Homo-oligomer: A and B are copies of this chain.
Amino acid sequence: MTLDIEAFLATCRKRTNLLLENCLPSNDAEPGLIEAIRYATLGKAKRIRPCLVYAGAALASNSSSPLGTPYTDLTHSNAIDNTACAIELIHTYSLIHDDLPAMDDDDLRRGKATCHIAYDEATAILAGDALQSLAFEQLSLIDDIPPAQVLLLVQHLSQASGMKGMVLGQAMDLGATNKSVDVTYLETMHRHKTADLIAASVVMGALSNGHADERILLSLHDYGMSIGLAFQVRDDILDELGDTETLGKTVGADAARHKNTYTSLLGIERSKTLLDELLKHSLSALDGFGDRATQLRDLAHFMVQRTF
């Protein structure tokens, strides 16, 4: 990984953390709720999806150095920022709900107790619900691109998150627990559970920077679906090989719950081969974009090489 991408990731993370902090003001009426929301949202996190938004925005820019000079500067666009923020809010809500006792029943997330452990189940459910509303509110407040373009963002986010996207994936995941499924089922499940929102991040990044060329958006979607699936394959490999401290969540938890994973279905070696193929496919979707896709290419490498 180059120094440039490290700096880009750090800049995106810092900016996302600031944006999240700003959209989560304190609330005196019911302090427990807002505390739980802030607890789950702020703090240490990879912020991969916001990075993908900024990288997608970079590709859509007309200038040769869309994120400013140097590479690590981000343009301060309300549309790009609020899009990055909205995606991370949706992702955080999904983590809170997925960790609930009725779902994956996890007690560790992002290196600390899950929301329902730190607070209680009811508060965790409500915190997730409020984060989803807030994500759409963030989009509705965008005022520096045409409203029709903002509506496209709302449409992409709602479709990627809902019953044909992320929620469908989570339902498929729960439906497959303690059952044997094949690799096709696993792939469909992860395409929805993980890749739909990741692909939406890239596409929405481009849209938030004013880009609406259908052919380009399709390429970005293609890139996002491949790298999103790769991200999940890498997750399964890390879950098999990694350690709890580095990952910030319980290692081997999926195996313990008799969940189907790439490593359990394919073994480590074939999972690694699949990872390479998905990386190659994601990079090929960026063919022809030249330097404008530098961040997206570097992010793809980062996502398949990550150790946390």
Instruction: Give the interface of A toward B (CB within 8 A).
Output: 27, 29-30, 32-34, 37, 93-94, 97, 100, 102-103, 120-123, 125-126, 128-130, 132-134, 136-137, 139-141, 146-148, 150-152, 154-155, 157-159, 161-165, 167-168, 170-172, 174-175, 188, 192
Contact = CB atoms under 8 A, between A and B. Distances in A.
A151 to B, nearest CB: 5
B32 A175 contact: yes
A161 B133 contact: yes
B174 A158 contact: no
A160 to B, nearest CB: 9
A148 B145 CA distance: 11
Contact of A130 (B30, B32, B120, B167): B167
B130 A102 contact: no
A168 B29 contact: yes
A14 to B, nearest CB: 24
A125 B154 contact: no
Contacts of A172: 29-30
Given A29-B172, A120-B102, A162 B134 contact: yes
Contacts of A132: 129, 132-133
A140 B151 contact: yes
